[in-house]
Amino acid sequence: MSLLSRLKNAVRQRSIHVCYVDTGSCNGCDIEILACLSPRYDLEQYGIYVHNNPREADILLVVGGIAPQWQEKLLMIWNRIPEPKVAIAIGNCAISGCVFNRRDALIDPPASHIIPISAEVPGCPPRPDEIIKAVLSLAPVVFKDWEERHS
């Protein structure tokens, strides 16, 4: 393995940039993601940085049941994230629509119908430690030796 690949492996697993989009949630899942940033969970101690810039992201967190105005935007955001990248559905709404998955609701879940979802964190809402665990367990598997596997 080249020095550059070894360097990229090391950096990617210690500095994970997470872009977070809310596609129409009740804000319950948003609050749990925000709680990950609080001193109690201290997400950044693991080298995970949350922001809203897809061009600098490695992981996309998707929350909410996909409101109509989000169907095209979610794909657009996904396409702006450079490879290697993964998406994680956070909460039951992004996975199945949860309580909003009714005939008269405007949402159109799941997120996996629009972009490839690599992991799901169920719950209404999921706990912050479950969200952190999903990011930390998925990132090394996806990013390790990515160049070598895709060359």
In the complex, the residues that contact ligand SF4 under the rule CB under 6 A are 25-26, 28-29, 64, 91-93, 98-99, 124-125
* Residue nearest ligand SF4 (C-beta atom): 28
CB 115 within 8 A of CB 85: no
Residue closer to ligand SF4, measured from CB, 57 or 66: 66
- Residues in the chain, overall count: 151
Minimum distance of ligand SF4 from residue 2's CB (angstroms): 43
CB 78 within 8 A of CB 46: no
Minimum distance of ligand SF4 from residue 140's CB (angstroms): 27
Helix H or strand E segment including 75: helix 71-80
Residue closer to ligand SF4, measured from CB, 9 or 19: 19
Please state whether beta strands 16-22 and 119-121 pair in parallel, antiparallel, or not at all (unpaired).
unpaired
E-assigned strands of the chain?
16-22, 48-51, 59-63, 86-90, 119-121
CB 42 within 8 A of CB 1: no
Residue closer to ligand SF4, measured from CB, 9 or 132: 132
Minimum distance of ligand SF4 from residue 94's CB (angstroms): 7
Minimum distance of ligand SF4 from residue 6's CB (angstroms): 39
Residue closer to ligand SF4, measured from CB, 12 or 126: 126
